[in-house]
Amino acid sequence: MLYGIIDIGSNTIRMAVYQIRGDSLEMLMKKKHTVGLAAYVKDGVMQQAGIDKTITILKEFKEFLHWLSIDNIVVFTTAALRNAKNSREAIAAINAGTGLQVRVISGDEEAVFDFVGAAHDLHADEGILVDIGGASTEIVHYKGRSIAHKVSVPLGSLALRTRHVTDLLPTSKECEAMREEAKQALGSVKWLRGMKANAIAGIGGTFKGATALYNGLFGVDPVNKHLEAGKLRRLIADFSGDIPLTEEQTCHLMRAVPDRMHTVIPGLIIADVLMRIFGCQTITYSDSGVREGYLYDRVIGRQ
């Protein structure tokens, strides 16, 4: 059975095609558009330009899936549209303009799907799972392969950048402002206080891009998925400040994160604040997340 999953995120709109066989799934292909929907939110309202952009991309994906005879199509959206004051009106306009039915996933649901999708790659019996999106960050504390605590914090890489950064890369002063906002937002989550963790698993585009940039900058094997705290902080320092980048740094940035050059440092600042809160020295990137979790939970789990 083939399924097309379209994920309307705050940074990107992604489509992936999966084949489901019994209780296993295989991703056959994926496509994405970097839209930055969070930047279309003004005073809490999703602007018409963002709605129109979303409709155009969804119609393209729908036509692509139609020609492949894929009828099982699931479309969901996370923080970009979930948190907008006009969320209901925006979703209605997108549904009418595409003939699709967009489901709004709550923060709790997103955290659960993140965990279910990544659980297949998690080896520790206890740890922290983090998904830093464009407009929200989902954090799951798992223990004994089950969710002990979960939270969705309205703190994301693109939204943070939009509020604090003027140019492509942040200055050191802008980094400090972002760090302070992250500390306040995460400090408001009661169950995080005093919690320590040896393992953090990072999923989603922020960690995917950061891993590629980390491996290129430090000459690490491209298959590496482990990010050490000290080197991660050096990476943040190297790509923020008031000194122009070297040619080598520019090349690494363009090769590793061409679509996320403007959001990778804000995202990593959130990651660094979390590492300090948990006293963790390593983040391990996992390539599975909310889309896989949705299929495991809502499709395979109900067959």
- In 3D space, the residue among 24, 35, 30, 32 whose CA is nearest the CA of residue 4 turns out to be 30
Residue 215 covered by a domain:
yes
Residue 302 covered by a domain:
no
Rounded CA gap, 98 and 112, in Å? 28
Signed CA dihedral, 44, 50, 52, 54: sign only: negative
The β-bridge partners of 146 are: 143
The β-bridge partners of 27 are: 18
In this prediction, residue 128 carries a pLDDT of 94
Rounded CA gap, 132 and 43, in Å? 22
Structure tokens at 257: 């994160």
Per-residue exposure over 131-140, b if at least 16 CB sit within 10 Å of its own CB, e if not: bbbbbbbbbb
Q: In which domain, by residue range, is 94 found?
A: 2-106
Question: Do 233 and 146 share a domain, yes or no?
Answer: yes
What's the pLDDT tens digit per position in 194-240? 899 887 999 999 999 999 999 999 999 999 999 999 999 999 999 99
Question: Do 186 and 244 share a domain, yes or no?
Answer: yes
Residue 209 covered by a domain:
yes
Measured in degrees and rounded to the nearest 5, phi and psi for residue 235 equal -60, -45
Residue 232 covered by a domain:
yes
Question: Do 88 and 172 share a domain, yes or no?
Answer: no
Measured in degrees and rounded to the nearest 5, phi and psi for residue 222 equal -55, -20
Whether the Cβ atoms of residue 107 and residue 132 lie closer than 8 Å to each other: no
Rounded CA gap, 151 and 128, in Å? 11
CATH of the domain at 10: 3.30.420.40
Question: Do 99 and 136 share a domain, yes or no?
Answer: no
What's the pLDDT tens digit per position in 284-301? 998 888 999 999 999 987
Residue 24 covered by a domain:
yes
pLDDT < 50 stretches in the chain? none
Residue 294 covered by a domain:
no
Give the number of domains in the chain: 2
- Helix (H) / strand (E) containing 127: strand 126-132
- The one-letter amino acid code at 189 reads V
Structure tokens at 104: 């709004």
Rounded CA gap, 278 and 262, in Å? 26
Residue 85 covered by a domain:
yes
Residue 27 covered by a domain:
yes
What's the pLDDT tens digit per position in 260-271? 999 999 999 999
Structure tokens at 80: 């970009």
Measured from the Cβ of residue 211, the count of other Cβ atoms closer than 10 Å reads 23
Question: Do 130 and 252 share a domain, yes or no?
Answer: yes
Rounded CA gap, 100 and 133, in Å? 24
Reduced to 3 states, what is the DSSP secondary structure of residue 293?
helix
CATH of the domain at 131: 3.30.420.150
In this prediction, residue 303 carries a pLDDT of 56
In this prediction, residue 288 carries a pLDDT of 83
In this prediction, residue 98 carries a pLDDT of 98
Whether the Cβ atoms of residue 97 and residue 55 lie closer than 8 Å to each other: yes
Give the predicted TM-score (pTM) of the model.
0.88
Q: What are the residues whose beta carbons fall under 8 Å from the beta carbon of 192, sequence distance 6 or more?
A: 139, 151, 186, 277
